[in-house]
């Protein structure tokens, strides 16, 4: 099965494109309702991070999203054109001093909703894996 790919400008309103793209992937790859919820939240969080933190909402910069079936798993890849980030030293959003902070939960959610997460290229590219069975 061919991967599904989309690219778009780094504008927050393009999250609607992402949600529609995930719905297309749900049908194309026969994703269960349980996996769908995790994929929707983790992928939209990752795309939000790419738009806001990676590309700083610079509409000249693109975000790339790919879904690919790998045996019994769906691989979702999100890549931005920013400078990356230190994904190994993020503050724990569940620590008492961070509980009331507005941001800082995206990567935590991504890691907890995906079966596996890998960062590449200094954090500019993230691969998330989701079991389909």
pLDDT in tens, 35-63: 999 999 999 999 999 999 999 999 999 99
SS3 content of the chain, % helix, strand, coil (to 5): 40, 25, 35
Res. 28: pLDDT tops 90: yes
Residue 74's contacts (CB-CB under 8 Å, 6 or more residues apart) are: 25, 29, 31, 35, 39, 67, 68, 129, 130, 132
Domain map (residue ranges) of the chain = 4-131
Mean pLDDT of the chain: 92
Residue 93 to residue 101: CA distance in whole angstroms: 8
Q: What is the pLDDT of residue 42?
A: 97
Report residue 73 CA to chain centroid gap.
Answer: 16
Report the 10 Å Cβ neighbour count for 131: 14
Q: What is the pLDDT of residue 49?
A: 95
Q: Assign domain 4-131 one CATH number from 3.40.190.10, 3.50.50.60, 3.30.565.10, 3.40.50.880.
A: 3.30.565.10
Residue 124 to residue 121: CA distance in whole angstroms: 5
pLDDT in tens, 117-131: 999 999 999 999 999
Q: Tell me the mean pLDDT in the region 100-110.
A: 79
Q: What is the pLDDT of residue 99?
A: 74
Q: Are 67 and 3 within 8 A, CB to CB?
A: yes
Q: Specify burial of residue 81 (Cβ count, 10 A radius: 0-12, 13-18, 19+).
A: middle
Lowest mean pLDDT across 22-26, 68-72, 114-118, 129-133: 129-133
């Amino acid at each position: 099965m061919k991967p599904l790919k989309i690219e778009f400008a780094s504008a927050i309103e393009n999250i609607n494109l992402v949600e529609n793209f995930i719905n297309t992937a749900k049908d194309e790859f026969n994703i269960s309702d349980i996996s769908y919820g995790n994929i929707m939240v983790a992928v939209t969080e990752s795309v939000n991070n790419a738009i806001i933190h990676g590309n700083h909402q610079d509409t000249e910069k693109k975000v790339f999203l790919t879904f690919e079936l790998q045996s019994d798993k769906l691989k979702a890849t999100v890549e931005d054109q920013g400078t990356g980030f230190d994904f190994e030293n993020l503050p724990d959003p569940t620590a008492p001093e961070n509980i009331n902070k507005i941001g800082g939960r995206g990567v935590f959610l991504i890691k907890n909703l995906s079966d596996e997460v890998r960062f590449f290229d200094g954090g500019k590219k993230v691969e998330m894996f989701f079991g389909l069975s």
